[in-house]
Structure 1
Amino acid sequence: MPHNYFNMKKTALVLALFCFLLGGSAYAQTTADAAKPQGTVTGATTLIDKFFKAYGKESTNAAVMGLFKTNKLVDSTKLVDLVSKIDAERALLGDYHGKELIVQKKASGSLVLYSYLVKHEKQPVRFTFMFYKPKNEWMIYRLYFDDQVETELQDSAKL
């Protein structure tokens, strides 16, 4: 692949956006949730599902702005920068072909992390969402976007 394409690997592209936002409510797992991975947090996963629906059918802008629209603390210029950076990478990666859950971690009932392999035509990338629930509502706490999933997989195979 072209050298410019892998330039993002050299710089270890890791975009971190630290912010809070109001998210969907958390619900206890019920039998209807049995098909979901154990420990799934419905409020957080609802936000993630909406994000990827917009990412695939609309645009990066719609996905990011939709995720952060209720957060009054977010500087919209930072969101525009984030969208621009992701879109620049998407132009190199090709069409979006879906997502797969890599890992979910639950530090407590109030702090959860979901990491997804995001499939594009030329290369996968990873989106990692961290949600925090200080009271009754889930908020996006951190959003990471990077292309290091392949490297980490190779490193995990080493002795």
Structure 2
Amino acid sequence: MEDMGKRKKINLNSLGILGVILLFFSTVSLRAQETPEQILQHFFELYKTSQEEAITYAYGTNPTLMEKEDSNYDEIIKTLDSLVPQLGKYHGSALIAETKLTTKIKHLSYLLKYEVMPIRLSLTLAKDDVKWKFFGITFDTNELVDEMIKAGLSLDNQITNAPKEVTSLVSDFFETYDRSTRQAVDFGMQGDVGGSLKDQENLNAAKTELEKFRQAVGEVQDYGILNYVEVANSYSYASYLVNFKEDMVRFSFLMYKPNKRWKIETFRFTGDILDQLQEATKIYRLKN
């Protein structure tokens, strides 16, 4: 009788182990059948509370990424650990673009909206015979800004119907400029305002430069939008032609909406606009 009791316990334990094994493979099977949308949803849920957990999850879908000699896993974690604490509150993500290269390859880019400034996240997903995996993941800030400026300064494929909140901000900027160039810099460089000495030095230099500029060109007579570029309903670049008493100048504004309201991150002004306007009206550029 004693031996039978032991055998029963052994059998029950075996069944318990078998149940765990079956549960494990069932979970793996369900994970393997996840759609790209489900994978991305899980990634962003993790990202809300831990960037490292999200990145680890992404690499975990495709272990070969971690094994590559040029794996950027450690670099990404290190960069985010140093950058994210400086960016303020996280307000979620917004899709910038999605490209379906084939039925089994997707490339997506997202705007990660932090209070101070956004980060662009680029992802590549691909499917093998069994499941979807991450095949690439990168973060950038400077390249995104450079691309926004390049698109906004171009007069090809012009878009001039900027949202009212954006055009109102520009109007407020020029009204402030009429009163005080120093206040205009504070209003138009909210993304550069910080507590460091370097930030204050940059602001003071900008105020000096804008005041010298105003003395040279005089008061604002009129202005109109040249081009407007916007991504993810949260990040934009607006280019304006401004007619001053003594000259015509292009003012450009980089704007950001981390949550509900737009703000001007920074602005620039250049005097090269006439040559570009002449180029834009060449016969070979005219559209039927």
Shorter-chain TM band: 0.5 to 0.7
Q: 1:112 and 1:125, CA in 2 relative to 1: closer, same or farther beyond 3 A? A: same
Provide the C-alpha distance between the structure 2 equivalents of 1:115 and 1:107, rounded to a whole number of angstroms.
14
Provide the C-alpha distance between the structure 2 equivalents of 1:123 and 1:114, rounded to a whole number of angstroms.
20
Which of 63, 66, 73 is the matching residue for 1:72? 63
Contact 2:61-2:133 at 8 Å conserved across structures: no
- String of CA shifts for 1:54-76, please: whole Å, max 9, x gaps: 111x2111111122224332149
RMSD, aligned α-carbons: 2.2
- Counterpart check, 1:52 vs 2:52: no
- Counterpart check, 1:97 vs 2:91: yes
Identity %: 23
Which structure has the highest helix share of the two? Answer: 2
Contact 2:91-2:113 at 8 Å conserved across structures: yes
Look up the match of 1:142.
Answer: 136
Which of 128, 147, 157 is the matching residue for 2:152? 157
What residue ranges of structure 2 are gaps of 5+ in the alignment? 1-30, 155-288
How many positions carry a matched residue from both structures?
Answer: 120
Contact 1:61-1:83 at 8 Å conserved across structures: yes
What residue ranges of structure 1 are gaps of 5+ in the alignment? 1-22, 27-42
Structure number with greater CO (CA < 8 Å, separation at least 6) is 1
Which of 83, 104, 120 is the matching residue for 1:126? 120
Code of the residue aligned with 2:82 in structure 1: it is: A
Look up the match of 2:226.
Answer: none
Look up the match of 1:106.
Answer: 100
Code of the residue aligned with 1:25 in structure 2: it is: Q
Code of the residue aligned with 1:94 in structure 2: it is: G
Provide the C-alpha distance between the structure 2 equivalents of 1:89 and 1:152, rounded to a whole number of angstroms.
21
Look up the match of 1:25.
Answer: 33
How far apart are residue 137 of structure 1 and its match?
Answer: 1.1
Code of the residue aligned with 2:89 in structure 1: it is: D
Code of the residue aligned with 2:44 in structure 1: it is: F
Look up the match of 1:3.
Answer: none
Q: Give TM-score, length-normalised by structure 1.
A: 0.67
Tell which structure's C-alpha radius of gyration is larger: 2
How far apart are residue 150 of structure 1 and its match?
Answer: 2.7
